[in-house]
Every structure is written in structure tokens, then in C-alpha cells.
Amino acid sequence: MATHLDLEEQEQLDRLKHFWARWGTVITIAVLVVAAAFTGWKGYEWYQRDQAAKAGALFDELERAAGANDTAKVAQAFGDLRDRHASTAFTQQGALLAASVQFNAGQLDEAVKTLSWASAQAREDEYRTVARLRLAGILIEQKKPQEALAQLDAAKAAGFEALVADRRGDALAALGKADEARAAWTQAYSALDAKIEYRRLIEAKLAAAGAPRPADVQSALKEATR
């Protein structure tokens, strides 16, 4: 009986050896690949958290400098963010904050450089669109409306259509294209909800450009005067 069992065990052992000889290398490689992928993913998660923490610290530094209107420290903090942590959300936000400080300080060329970086390098389309809107505004102020239009052509994020149309009207007006400017402002006005206060600014632009009041405003005025 014992001999019979020994023979069965030997056969099983032989089959196992044969199986391992044929498939052992493949199985070992597969296990190593899975283990490496798991370790790599965990390492990537740690790296992302580490980068976000470091970027957050630099963004705090940028915010403090912005609060103090220290343009030199703002430029340095944003430069560090851009060079070390370009892919983080903190850097996208930091670009808009730095450009705002630079603009308010009259450093238009520096603001243009900062917004140009954000419009090209920000990872999220919303940040790129906001950067292009602000950049277009500065370019119009610098008497470069054609360059402003080029920025607006690339501003594609959903939900910003009215603001893009409004800024496009500003650029077209600066080019002396009054009819096209009125059309752009009318488009912007129509795209905004009636409760949004910004609508009044666009209405004022239309009035200054000699455009008739939009139909819904005329109706409201008629109702109010009955």
C-alpha cells in the first residue's frame, strides 16, 4: 500500500516538475510584472502626493507675496512652481494669480509672459481659456487687437462662450470693425443669463456702439412703464 502511494506521489511530483519546467519561467515573469506594476503605481501615487505637497507650499508662498504686493517674490515663487511642478493644479492657479499681481503693478509685459505660459501649458482647458481671455485683454490694451483675436480663437472651454464673445467684440472695436464688434457683443449678451450683472456692461457697450437695445430689454422696459 505504501509503495502504491509512493508511486502516486512520485507521478504527481513528476507532473509538477514537468509543468514547472514548461511554464515556470512564464509564471515567474508574470508575477514579477504584476508586482512591479503594483509597486510602480504605489510609487507614482506617492510621487504625486509629494509633488502636490511641495507645490502647495510654494503656492502658499506665492499667495503671501501677492497679498503683500511684492512683485519680485511673486515672480520668484511662480518661477519655482513653473520650473519644479508645472503639471500641478497649484501652478495653473499660481499663473493666474501672478499675472493679476503683475497687471495691477503695471508690469504688462511680465503679465503677458505669465499668461502666455498658462495659455499654452496649463493642463485643464478651463485654465487655458481664462488665461487667454485675460491675455487678450492685455493685448488689446497694448494696441495688439489682432494678437488678441488669435488668443480668443483658441479659447474653447465650455461655459466661457459669452465672455469670449464679449472680449472678441472689444478686439474688433479696437480694429475699427464696428459692425462685427456689435455682432460679437450681441452674441455675448444673448448668451448670458438675464440675472447676471455682467450683462449690463455689455449692454452699455452696445449702446455706446449705437446698437439698438436687445429685444428682451425693450420688452422689460415696456412692462415697467405700463
Taking 90 as the threshold, does the pLDDT of residue 73 lie above it?
yes
* Whether the predicted pLDDT of 207 surpasses 60: yes
Comparing 39 with 14, which gets the higher pLDDT? 14
* pLDDT value, residue 12: 72
Domain boundaries, the chain: 28-111, 124-212
Whether 54 has a pLDDT exceeding 90, the answer reads no
Chain segment 83-102, per-residue pLDDT in tens:
998 888 899 999 999 999 99
- Burial, 139: exposed, middle or buried (Cβ in 10 Å; 0-12, 13-18, 19+)? buried
From 1.25.40, 2.60.40, 1.10.760, 3.30.190, which CATH number describes the 124-212 domain? Answer: 1.25.40
- Higher confidence at residue 196 or residue 19? 196
Query: Looking at residue 77, what is its pLDDT?
Result: 94
Q: Is the pTM of this model over 0.75?
A: no
For residue 44, the model assigns a pLDDT of 45
Measured CA to CA, the distance from residue 92 to residue 88 in angstroms comes to 7
Shortest CA distance to 202 belongs to which of 182, 218, 220, 221? 182
